[in-house]
Amino acid sequence: MQDVVEKVYEQVVARNRGEAEFHQAVREVLESLDPVIAKHPHYAENALLERIVEPERQIMFRVPWVDDAGEVHVNRGFRIEFNSALGPYKGGLRFHPSVNAGIIKFLGFEQIFKNALTGQGIGGGKGGSDFDPHGKSDAEVMRFCQSFMTELSRHIGPNTDVPAGDIGVGGREIGYLFGQYKRLRNSYDAGVLTGKGLDWGGSLVRTEATGYGTVLFAQSMLATKGDSLEGKKVAVSGAGNVAIYAIEKAQQLGAKPITFSDSSGYVVDEAGVDLELLKQVKEVERGRVADYVSRRPGARLVTEGRPWDVPVDVALPCATQNELDADNAATLLRNGCAVVAEGANMPSTPEAIEAFQAAGILYAPGKASNAGGVATSALEMEQNAGRTRWDFATAEAKLTAIMADIHESCVEAAETYGRPGDYVLGANAAGFTQVADVMIAHGIV
C-alpha cells in the first residue's frame, strides 16, 4: 500500500508545482493512511486517494479597489471548493499578504477532514486574498470587501458554499461581505456566511470556539492519563481570536498561560496573562503586544526567538502554519513540555511532529484540536436555518460535546489501525473514512 500512497503524492507534487504547504498537508495525511488502505483496499480500487487530493473546483479572480487617496489597487481572490461529499463547502476566508493558491489549497484540504470530524454534515473549502487589512481604514476595508464579494457571490450560497472568517477576516470584514452579498442577491440568506454579528444571525460562542475547543481537546488528552490542566503552565502563540480564547479557557480550567505573540515578538508574563488587558489591546485598540507590556508591570517583550523557548507544561500554537519547527520542538521537550495541541492550521513542521511523536508526548493535530471553530460555524448555520438563537450555555455545551466526540473518534481510530495514542493517525483515519465512504456511495463524480 505504501507504493499506492507514494504514487499519489508524486502526482500531487507534479500537478501542483511550487505549492509547498499543500504538498506538506497532503503528505502528512497520506502517510498516515497506509494502514487504512491496507485494511480497506477498496478505497484504492476506487481511486479515493487520487480523487480526494484534487479540488472539485478552484476559483481565482481579480479584486480591484480604490484607497482613500483615490489610488487603484488590484489584489487576487481565491476560493478552493475542495470536497462536498458530506455537505456544502465550509471554510474560512483569509486576508493576508502571504495568501496564494497553494496556501488556500492546503487549508482547504485540511478542512475536508476537520469538517468530517465534527459530524456536522459540512464539506471542505477555503478562500481568501493577498489583501492586507492591517493599516487600512474602515472605508478601505469596506471597498475591498465589496469588490471581493461582487465576484465571490456567484459561487457561494447557504446550500453550496458557506465561507467564514480566518486570519485578517473578523466581524468587521464579515459584516461588509454579507452586506454586499445581500445587496447583490436581493436575499437575506443568513446562512451564507458564519461569524456574523450577534444581532444579525451570529452565534454565541463562535468567537471563542476555536480557542475553547483547542483547550478542551488538550484537557481530554490529559484525562486519558488521569491528569488535567489544573496548575499547568501554558505557552500560547498568536494574539488573535484563537489565542485569546485559548488563554481564557485555559484559565477557566485552572491552567496558567504565560505567553502570547504577534509579528513584533512574544510576551512573557510569568504572573499569568492579564486577559482583560490583552482583549483591550487586541480586540478594541487593534494594537501590538508591546502595548500590553507598556501597561503590565512584570511582563516583558522578547523580539528574538519564539514562545516555545519558555519552559512550560503545555504548548498551544495558535498563530499560523509552520511556526513551530524541529528546534522549537527540541526546546519544548528539553524543558519538560508534555502536551501540544494545535490551535492554528498546520503550525508544526513535519520534523517537529516527528519529534513529539518519538518522545511519546500528547500531540494533537489542528484538524482535530482546532475543529471547534468550524463546528460552531455549523451550529450557527443550524440556528440560521431554524431562525432561532441559543444562549451561551447551550452553544458552549454543544461545542464541548462535539470536541469530546472528536477526541473519542481519534482515539478509537488510532486503536482500530494499530497505533493507540497516535492522534495524527486517528484524526486522519476517522476523517478520511467518513468522506471516502460517502464518495463511494455518490459514485464517480
Catalytic annotation, residues: 126
Helix H, strand E, coil C: the string for 154-166 is: HHCECCCEEEECE
Beta strands at 123-129 and 89-95: parallel, antiparallel or unpaired: parallel
Pairwise CA distance, residues 83 & 144, whole Å: 28
Cell numbers 473519542 correspond to 408
Neighbours of 194 (CB within 10 A): 27
Tell me phi and psi for residue 187, to 5 degrees.
-155, 130
Using alpha carbons only, how large is the chain's radius of gyration in Å? 21
Give every CB contact of residue 297 below 8 A, 6+ residues apart in sequence: none
3-class secondary structure, 80: strand
> Who's near 428: CB < 8 A, 6+ residues apart?
28, 29, 32, 33, 113, 365, 367
166 vs 126: CA distance, rounded Å: 9
Place of cell 454586499: 180
CA dihedral 388, 391, 394, 395 (to 10 degrees): 80
Say if CB 253 and CB 228 are below 8 A apart: yes
Helix (H) or strand (E) holding 335: none
How far apart, in Å, do the first and last CA atoms of the chain sit? 24
Count other C-beta atoms under 10 Å from residue 440's C-beta: 15
Of 249, 248, 354, nearest in space to 28 by CA? 354
* Measured distance CA(21)–CA(23) in Å, rounded: 5
Of all helices (H) and strands (E), which one includes residue 186? none
Residue 61 forms beta bridges with which residues? Answer: 77
Amino acid (one-letter) located at 202: G
Give Cβ neighbours of residue 51 (< 8 Å, ≥ 6 apart): 439
> What is the DSSP pairing of strand 300-302 with strand 259-262?
unpaired
